Amino acid sequence: MSKNKKNANVDIFQLLLEKKEKQGKIKWKALLESLNVREFFEDGSISINERTCQGLECELCIKACPTKALYWRDGKVGIIKDLCVYCGACVLCCIVDDCITITRKRADGTTESFSKPGDIVVLFNGINSRRRHQRVRGIFPDDEAYLKRCGKTKTA
């Protein structure tokens, strides 16, 4: 196939769109890093229970939100959903359990949901222990490799 014929099959508009999206994502990530947001998610949902929220007496979530997705208006906490990155900072500091509920999707397709500070601690412990396990498995792919490193052999 000639070079010109090959180029004719390329959808230039699609390429430009993809490039723009890619650049947008890079800028978005850089912006979040500058705001000290280490964990951010593109897909998710957030809701606030207006009946249990302590509102004006509290406003801790509004102060904690790194992207300014939360605001106070008309006697309640409002959410600008497009600005939310489902980081969980608001849940971590909320004084009422099950007041803010977040569900978010990881890049591997798994979803997690939490509504209490304790949920986040459990979640992070689980993630960290999984990462530790993966690191050890990367160095020692099986039990024998591990025992060999310790100068031992597997007993039958």
Binding stretches for ligand SF4 (CB under 6 A): 46, 48, 53-55, 58-61, 64-65, 67, 69-70, 77, 84-90, 94-96, 99-100, 102
Least distance from ligand SF4 to the Cβ atom of residue 81, Å:
9
Q: In this complex, which beta carbon is closest to ligand SF4, that of residue 81 or of residue 133? A: 81
Residue 61: CB minimum distance to ligand SF4, A: 3
Residue pointed to by tokens 């593109």: 42
- Residue 48 φ/ψ, nearest 5 degrees: -125, 130
| DSSP track, 14-35 | HHHHHHHHHHHHHHHHHHHHHT
Cβ-based nearer residue to ligand SF4, 45 or 147: 45
Instruction: Decide: helix, strand or coil at residue 140.
Output: coil
DSSP state letters, 37-97: -----SSEEEEE-TTT--GGGT-HHHHH-TT--EEEETTEEEE-GGG-----HHHHH-SST
Which position has the token pair 């689980």?
A: 126
> Smallest distance from the beta carbon of 108 to ligand SF4, in angstroms?
20
Of 54 and 111, which CB lies nearer to ligand SF4 in the complex structure? 54
Q: Measured from the CB atom, is 123 or 147 closer to ligand SF4?
A: 123
Q: What's the min distance (Å) between Cβ of 24 and ligand SF4?
A: 18
